[in-house]
Structure formats: structure tokens, C-alpha cells
């Protein structure tokens, strides 16, 4: 399976270079509005993926360096970016979302930067914000357990982005 930017919800699943749209009819469902919103979200995810793919190899040296490189890449595309935004997690604990950004059209996106697979607490933090939710991976082990966690995460967030330089590890 090709895991460039993978998204999943109950109506749409987008895998890199392949789009599947399954419509679930409902009397309260507005098909044109849904398609418009999904198109905006898909475009936003593609823009984030491009920003990550443009990073130089040295950007992957550490989590801190990676976060700053993603920030600069997004800002170069006209996004406004806030790092380490606090959110209140269940139990009253404070967590920090790695990146909150707004694109030039005003669309909000929250991004967690994880190492080799999406972490449960990253997904929990993203779900606290009403925005496009993305996990970006800095490394990839390509192990079956990591691939399963990536697949599972696509059911809870809008996208899991594996940078182009790492995809060859997961395309097998």
C-alpha cells in the first residue's frame, strides 16, 4: 500500500495517487457542501505534504530541528504558524500541539510531529481541536506494527503524512 498522505473518515479515504469516494446517503446530508469541504481539506493536506516533502535531509536530525523546518516551510507558503499550542487533555493535564497553522485562505490545521508512527496521545490532542488534523512522521521503520498504527490512525485523523524521502520504506 502506498502511504504518502492517507486520510480516512466515514465518507472518504484518500491514498496517494488514488481517490475513492463513497457517498452515504442521508436526508440531512448536503452532498455539494460535503464535496466542497472535502476538496478544501484534500487541497490543504496536499499543501502540507508538499511543505514536508520540500525539507532538506538535515531537517530530520532531531525533533526540534524538524519542527522548525516544517514551520519555515509552511510560513514560506503563506501559512501563519504557532508552535507548542497548549490544550487541556482529559484529566486536567496540559498537552501541547506541535503546530497549529492557518493557510492563506483561513483554513485551520493542527499538526503533530511523531517519530515512526502516530502516538495515541498525539491523536488525542489533535481531536481536541476542530480543524484539519494531521500527523507527520519524521522517520519510518516500515515494520508491520508501525504500518498498522499508521492505518489505525487514519480512522481518527484526517491524514498521516510520511515524507517522500521515507516512503520507499513503507511502499513494500
pLDDT in tens, 91-109: 888 889 999 999 998 889 9
User: According to the model, what pLDDT value does residue 37 have?
Assistant: 61
| pLDDT (average), residues 39-45 | 78
User: According to the model, what pLDDT value does residue 154 have?
Assistant: 83
User: According to the model, what pLDDT value does residue 40 have?
Assistant: 67
How many CA within 13 A on the CB side of residue 90? 7
Nearest Cα neighbor of 101 from 59, 139, 129, 61 is 129
Whether the pLDDT of residue 24 is over 70: the answer is no
Put the strands of the sheet holding 18-21 in their side by side order. 18-21, 12-15, 5-8, 159-161, 132-137, 108-114, 94-102, 80-88
**DSSP letters of 82-145?**
EEEEEEEPGGG-EEEEEEEEE-TT--EEEEEEESSS--HHHHHHHTTSSSEEEEEES-----HH
Whether the model clears a pTM of 0.75, i.e. scores above it, the answer is no
* Cα 41 to Cα 112: distance, rounded to the nearest angstrom: 17
User: According to the model, what pLDDT value does residue 36 have?
Assistant: 52
User: According to the model, what pLDDT value does residue 19 have?
Assistant: 36
Cα–Cα distances (Å) from 109 to 17, 132, 165, 169, in that order, read: 22, 5, 23, 27
Q: Which CATH number fits domain 30-170: 3.40.1350, 2.40.40, 2.50.20, 3.30.200?
A: 3.40.1350
- pLDDT-derived band at 115 (thresholds 50, 70, 90) equals confident
| pLDDT (average), residues 66-91 | 92
* Cα 146 to Cα 58: distance, rounded to the nearest angstrom: 23
Amino acid at each position: 500500500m502506498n502511504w504518502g498522505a492517507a486520510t480516512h473518515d466515514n465518507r472518504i479515504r484518500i491514498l496517494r495517487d488514488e481517490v475513492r469516494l463513497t457517498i452515504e446517503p442521508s436526508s440531512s446530508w448536503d452532498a455539494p457542501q460535503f464535496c466542497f469541504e472535502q476538496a478544501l481539506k484534500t487541497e490543504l493536506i496536499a499543501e502540507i505534504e508538499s511543505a514536508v516533502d520540500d525539507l532538506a535531509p538535515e531537517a530530520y536530525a532531531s525533533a526540534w530541528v524538524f519542527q522548525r523546518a516544517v514551520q519555515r516551510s509552511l510560513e514560506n507558503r503563506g501559512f501563519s504558524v504557532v508552535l507548542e499550542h497548549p490544550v487541556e487533555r482529559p484529566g486536567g493535564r496540559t498537552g501541547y500541539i506541535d503546530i497549529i497553522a492557518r493557510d492563506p485562505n483561513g483554513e485551520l490545521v493542527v499538526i503533530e510531529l511523531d517519530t515512526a508512527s502516530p502516538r495515541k496521545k498525539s491523536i488525542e490532542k489533535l481531536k481536541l481541536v476542530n480543524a484539519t488534523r494531521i500527523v507527520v512522521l519524521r522517520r519510518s521503520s516500515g515494520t508491520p506494527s508501525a504500518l498498522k498504527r499508521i492505518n489505525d490512525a487514519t480512522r481518527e485523523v484526517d491524514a498521516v503524512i510520511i515524507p517522500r524521502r521515507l516512503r520507499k520504506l513503507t511502499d513494500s
